[in-house]
Structure 1
Amino acid sequence: MIDVAVIDDPAAAGVSLDPVRARLLAVLAVPGSATTLAAQVGLSRQKVNYHLRALERHGLVELVEERRKGNVTERIVQATAASYVISPAALAAVAPDPGRAPDQLSARWLLALAARLVREVGELIARSTKARQRLATFAVDGEIRFASAADRAAFAEELGATVNHLVAKYHDESAAGGRKHRLIVALHPSITRDTDEPAPAPAHGPTAPTEE
């Protein structure tokens, strides 16, 4: 089992979004059979088997072992990943295009950048896995509390200048054997919640920058 898998196939995305199948995927972080799963999710073994077959067809669960019990063979399966991210590639016709209206101050443009990040990193992971090569990535995740909007604006301006300086220092368009990398730096307000409001399950996946 890997930590995070990116789903880019529309059919697989549809299967994973089914509430029952999504629950089965969560439970299958630990290997189980249709019999054990039926007791956990409150369904009949036959219905669980039906959903497991659909998940297995799309590579979301895999066979771990088979156990012989009398005249019956019990199939033990497990989710192929601990968590899943659906790539915008699964909705290619309506996927956002960050090149359409670049605007550093637009939250929607930031969302389009994030969507492209998921799509490209998902494809890179698939390629590197197939080639059995390690994918070179790097990410920074942190939180900063600004005293005022003016401080936030000053920080963004200084950060932009620093990044531009580093890009100018290290970018070499004519380097033989060089390879381009995608760099994304994002800043947004942290989400605040009431103390009695349950927080959603944490999202998984790389941030930025990533190898292109």
Structure 2
Amino acid sequence: MLDVAAIEGGAAAEASLDPVRSRILASLAEPGSATMLAARLGLPRKKVNYHLKELERHGLVELTEKRRKGNVTERVYSATASSYVISPSAVSPDPAETPDQLSARWLLALGARLVQEVGSLLTGASKAGRRVVTFGIDTEVRFTTAADRMAFAEDLTQAVAALVSHYHDEAAPEGRNYRMVIGMHQIAAAPTAGGTASGPRQRTGETQETESDPGQEHRG
């Protein structure tokens, strides 16, 4: 059993996200038959057997053993991995097609490619018994104005370009290529006790102004 497997196809992803099949996959961390799973999950055996066949068809579970009990052969299954990463490649656009730094959809495409590539690396590394070398930074920054944010983005772009120019060696015979993705998006306001998003309060009679940011509101 792999530690992590990437689910590439849309049909396989749909199969894994079905609530019943998701429960079956989680339960198959320990091998079991349709009868055993039905008892574990409190479901009809025929229903479990149907979902097992679908999961097997998409390569998410595999037959590990056949046990003969009288006139009946019991088929024992196990999940093909301890956990799964769903690759959004089937439904996400190629970020190379529309490289717009101010587009939220382009940022989503970058994230989708990140999940796809790292998921595939994890699958291959698990099979080879090796580890994947990665590095990540996660932080938050609060800007006073839209102009400050745009200035920050420009400074960050220049800093990254300088670092890449300094360390990138196209001719390195033993070199390995690495993908670096940097993204920034607004964090949704947390709900208040009343169930609405918190944000700047407006006193009665005042006109609330919104931040003017060309390129943000109207780009997808």
With normalisation by structure 2, the TM-score equals 0.69
- Unaligned runs of 5+ residues in structure 2 are 196-220
With over 3 angstroms needed to count, the CA separation of the structure-2 counterparts of 1:168 and 1:192, relative to structure 1, is: same
Within a 5 Å distance, the mapping from 1:56-135 to structure 2 comes to: 56-63=56-63, 74-89=74-89, 91=90, 95-128=92-125, 132=128, 134=130
Say whether the 8 Å CA contact 2:5–2:120 is kept in structure 1: no
In structure 1, the partner of 2:154 is: 157
* Aligned counterparts of 1:175 and 1:86: Cα–Cα separation in 2: 34
Q: State the SS of the aligned residue for 1:62.
A: strand
Shift of 1:58: 2.4
In structure 1, the partner of 2:216 is: none
Say whether the 8 Å CA contact 2:15–2:21 is kept in structure 1: yes
* Aligned counterparts of 1:81 and 1:107: Cα–Cα separation in 2: 33
Within a 5 Å distance, the mapping from 1:188-207 to structure 2 comes to: 188-194=185-191
* Aligned counterparts of 2:87 and 2:27: Cα–Cα separation in 1: 22
Say whether the 8 Å CA contact 2:4–2:123 is kept in structure 1: no
Per-residue CA shift, 1:192-212, capped at 9, x if unaligned? 443788xxxxxxxxxxxxxxx
In structure 2, the partner of 1:139 is: 135
With normalisation by structure 1, the TM-score equals 0.71
Q: State the SS of the aligned residue for 2:25.
A: helix
In structure 2, the partner of 1:52 is: 52
- Unaligned runs of 5+ residues in structure 1 are 198-212
Q: State the SS of the aligned residue for 1:83.
A: strand
Q: Tell me how many residue pairs correspond in the alignment.
A: 193
Q: State the SS of the aligned residue for 2:93.
A: coil
Shift of 1:95: 3.8
One-letter identity of the residue aligned with 1:45:
R
Within a 5 Å distance, the mapping from 1:146-185 to structure 2 comes to: 146=142, 148-149=144-145, 151-185=148-182
Q: Which has the larger radius of gyration?
A: 2
Shift of 1:169: 0.9
Shift of 1:172: 0.9
With over 3 angstroms needed to count, the CA separation of the structure-2 counterparts of 1:195 and 1:35, relative to structure 1, is: farther
Shift of 1:9: 2.9
Q: Percent of aligned positions with the same letter in both sequences? A: 58
With over 3 angstroms needed to count, the CA separation of the structure-2 counterparts of 1:139 and 1:71, relative to structure 1, is: farther
Shift of 1:154: 4.3
Q: State the SS of the aligned residue for 1:181.
A: coil
Q: More deviation in 159-168 or 5-14?
A: 5-14
Q: CA RMSD of the aligned region, Å?
A: 3.2
With over 3 angstroms needed to count, the CA separation of the structure-2 counterparts of 1:155 and 1:30, relative to structure 1, is: farther
Per-residue CA shift, 1:96-139, capped at 9, x if unaligned? 02112212121110111112223333444455556x26354313
Shift of 1:168: 0.8
One-letter identity of the residue aligned with 1:28:
L
* Aligned counterparts of 2:145 and 2:39: Cα–Cα separation in 1: 53
Shift of 1:170: 0.5
